[in-house]
Amino acid sequence: MHYALTTIVVLLAVAGFGIYIVTLPDSVPSTPPAALSTAVLAKLPENREGQVLIYGAYGFTGAGISRLAADYGITPVLAGRNEPKLKSLADSLGYDYIVLTLENNHDNLVKVLSHFEIVLHIAGPYTFTGKPMLDAIVAAGTHYVDLTGENHVIQAQLDRDEEFKRANIMVMPSVGYDVVPTDCLNIYVADQVENPINLTVVLNSNYTEVEGAGVSRGTMKSALEMMGRPLLMRYHDEMVEVPQLKVLTRLENGQKQTLVQIPWADMMTSWVSTGVPTIEVFQLQEGEMYGWLPRLAQYEFPRRLIAWMIDKLFPEGPPPGAQATRETRIVSTATNAAGESASAAVITPEAYLFTFHSTLIVAKRVIDGYWEPGFQTVGKVYGPDLALEVPGVSRIDL
């Protein structure tokens, strides 16, 4: 019996150590990759005007944006580090591609980006991928958009506002479902109230319930990374740590619903867009909230293990049927010190489908010359109605 228990313990230890090794993040190369050849660079656009680079093109979201680009009159060059995946997608769409890593590869990134007017940076988690790309776009003078929902990443971009202005480039984070519909809606309701002091946003990501995955692997891993950080909220113009997750319950049409406080990027972006000092964002879900996942995500090894399981066990993204029929509903309420308020809702198509369109709408605005230098937000530059340009979006006053 003692021998059997010892064997089990040893096997578990070996298995755990093996998974630990497997889930270790890739190390950053100690030396930069070789310089890109003249022949490779010669295949890139000669005149950067109107040229778009999609980095992270072969992931679920990047591929969706790449497939839709032609509908917006955009012929992108695709980029990423996995050549087989990149080549397969590029060949299927008839686009050029370039294999390019981010880690310790500044000089090559600058050389490539100097051939493009804008880069759509679709490769997250941006905690790890954001800085090398930002450093390169400053040197190359290339406009930049991304899909980050990570508040600390957006803060790091905001901190470099003057640097971006000196480079005469626009850096605009969160041009997908995070946060185009919410940022535009928040501006819309804030404009209807004199001196608003509070914005409350409620997201219902499965407003039209559909079977199938709701998020992609990339989104799950970015969310997991965020869960490993302290939960913050916007309070009186400051980002403050929330000591305990706020969970509210309510009855809606006879159904019990739970509102779970989430670190949505509006606490950064809509603060810039509207100047409202206190912003809270909640995700609506049916039933009860299980708290074990956020607690596990606080520790490095469980977080890496969960990320490994996401890659191995979860589908790449929502099935086509879900994308075609799922809708989301977002409600935003602006309130002032006198208790006056305004509320409105937007109904959007499935979040990834929305993201494919909104990213390209913003990219087209930039290459058409509609941009402002420095750190910018979607609603601040393009106004509250930009979200309505996405097919299938509607807005109603409440």
Residue 308 pLDDT: 67
Q: Which helix (H) or strand (E) holds 49?
A: none
Give the C-alpha separation, 250 to 202, whole Å. 13
Residue with tokens 């190359």: 140
Residue 205 pLDDT: 79
- In sequence order, what are the beta bridge partners of 54? 78, 120
Residue 255 pLDDT: 74
Residue 56 pLDDT: 97
In order of 118, 196, 283, 286, the CA distances from 159 in angstroms are 21, 25, 28, 38
Give the C-alpha separation, 296 to 300, whole Å. 9
Long-range CB pairs of 27-33 (<8 Å, 24+ gap) are 28/103, 28/104, 29/103, 29/104, 30/104, 31/104, 32/104, 32/105, 32/106, 32/107, 32/108, 33/101, 33/104, 33/105, 33/108
The amino acid at residue 77 is V
Residue 57 pLDDT: 97
Q: Within 13 A of 357's CA, how many CA atoms are on the CB side? A: 17
Residue 228 pLDDT: 54
Structure token pair of residue 215: 């998020």
The dotted CATH code for 180-350 is 3.30.360.10
User: Is 176 in contact with 372 (CB distance < 8 Å)?
Assistant: no
Radius of gyration of the chain measured on its C-alpha atoms: 22
What's the pLDDT tens digit per position in 206-229?
Answer: 766 545 445 545 445 445 555 555
Parts of the chain with a pLDDT under 50:
1-24, 210, 212-213, 216, 218-219, 221-222, 287, 289
Residue 172 pLDDT: 98
Q: Domains of the chain: which residue ranges?
A: 41-146, 180-350
Residue 242 pLDDT: 82
Give the C-alpha separation, 351 to 214, whole Å. 9
Please report, to the nearest 10 degrees, the dihedral formed by the alpha carbons of residues 99, 102, 103, 104 taken in order: 90
Give the C-alpha separation, 114 to 372, whole Å. 19
10 Å CB burial of residue 226 (0-12, 13-18, 19+) is buried
Structure token pair of residue 205: 């990501």
Give the C-alpha separation, 129 to 153, whole Å. 10
What is the phi/psi pair of residue 141, to 5°? Answer: 70, 40
pTM: 0.83
Residue 19 pLDDT: 45
10 Å CB burial of residue 295 (0-12, 13-18, 19+) is exposed
Domain 41-146, CATH 3.40.50.720 — does that match?
Answer: yes
Q: Tell me the three state secondary structure of residue 36.
A: coil
